[in-house]
Structure 1
């Protein structure tokens, strides 16, 4: 048996609905009825990276980062393939630059989506501590 099972259906057009456990997710290649697959990929990456960053903080004596927000952006080529991803991590807690680099390195190792992507798509990460 697989660890993850989903079912994705499209009755017509380019929009599809995926059943993931008890949740439904609509993705639309045209971006009209939901986010595109590329947008979803970047959002999934950020949503995995954020808790990884929190765990990295806990492992580095930043037990309470407070509010954390990741602003993500990506570049696509002429074929609409994602070519580069960038994260700006904003934290309520103050983090000095040296510690921020350490947290990013640890979060890279913890984030499962980061690990699953080809190295050229690993996010370039900037951290802004004390942002809130």
Structure 2
């Protein structure tokens, strides 16, 4: 049995509609009806990494980190393949060791684990950011 199942359809053209449970997601490589697939990949990565940091920090005994935000970017090569991903993780709390937050996120984030190692995000943490 599969742990994740979804249906992706394209009526015509290049845009697609993915149905995941009760949710629909429009993805379009031409960026006319939704974000392109690579942008969605980067957003998925950031959307997994941020809560992974929060869960890992709680398990490690951190107090509330407050508001958190990731500014993400990706560099594409000449073929429009992802060459690099960068995150700036902004954390409201003042943290003593920002690198520990990165390690905690990397340990828990399932998207991070699924990507080939040379695509793991280069992460900068800005503590006391808000």
TM superposition score normalised by structure 1 = 0.95
Q: For residues 98 and 52 of structure 2, what CA distance do their matches in structure 1 show? A: 13
Runs of 4+ with >6 A deviation: none
Q: Which residue of 2 aligns with 1:44?
A: 44
Q: Which residue of 2 aligns with 1:83?
A: 83
Q: Which residue of 1 aligns with 2:20?
A: 20
Q: Which residue of 1 aligns with 2:100?
A: 102
Q: Which residue of 2 aligns with 1:116?
A: 114
Cα deviation digits, residues 10-47 of structure 1 (max 9, x gap): 00111000000100000001111100000000000000
Q: For residues 57 and 63 of structure 1, what CA distance do their matches in structure 2 show? A: 8
Contact 1:95–1:128 (CA under 8 A) maintained in structure 2: no
Q: For residues 100 and 62 of structure 1, what CA distance do their matches in structure 2 show? A: 12
Contact 1:60–1:103 (CA under 8 A) maintained in structure 2: no
Which stretches in structure 1 are left out of the alignment for 5+ residues? Answer: none
Q: In the TM superposition, what is the alpha-carbon distance from 1:121 to its structure 2 partner? A: 0.4
Q: For residues 55 and 2 of structure 1, what CA distance do their matches in structure 2 show? A: 25
TM superposition score normalised by structure 2 = 0.97
Q: In the TM superposition, what is the alpha-carbon distance from 1:89 to its structure 2 partner? A: 0.4
Q: Which residue of 2 aligns with 1:7?
A: 7
